[in-house]
């Protein structure tokens, strides 16, 4: 029987095995960012994607110091828009905007 492992480790491994999954994973996290706990979930998702691609490599492609990337994507991180866009770009992704679905009154 396979031993249990932390969720974060499992997500990083899944993203390593299926890099295209990062698109869906981050899109979902971004859609839910304004819900309770959503901001922290988005940072965790970004951190998972960066870890799957290698934090040092992502930091280099983003033009950041590795320590700065870790700090920005930490649970208490508060990345600037510039950092967010640089990390997404370094991961081969970009930010998109979509209109919210209108809820009937």
pLDDT, tens digit (0-9, with 9 covering 90-100), for 69-85:
999 999 889 999 999 99
Q: In residues, how long is the chain?
A: 105
Q: What is the pTM of this model?
A: 0.84
pLDDT, tens digit (0-9, with 9 covering 90-100), for 6-54:
889 999 999 999 988 988 999 899 888 889 999 999 999 999 999 999 9
Q: What is the predicted pLDDT for the residue at 103?
A: 61
CA dihedral 14→97→75→21, nearest 10 degrees, is: 0
């Amino acid at each position: 029987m396979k031993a249990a492992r932390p969720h974060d480790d499992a997500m990083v491994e899944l993203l390593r095995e299926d890099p295209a999954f990062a698109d869906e994973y981050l899109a979902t996290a971004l859609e839910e960012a304004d819900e309770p706990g959503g901001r922290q979930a988005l940072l965790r998702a970004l951190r998972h994607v960066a870890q799957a691609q290698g934090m040092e490599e992502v930091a280099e492609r983003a033009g950041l110091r590795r320590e700065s990337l870790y700090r920005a994507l930490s649970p208490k991180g508060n990345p600037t828009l510039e950092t967010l866009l640089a990390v997404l770009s370094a991961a081969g992704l970009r930010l998109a905007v979509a209109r919210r679905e209108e809820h009937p009154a």
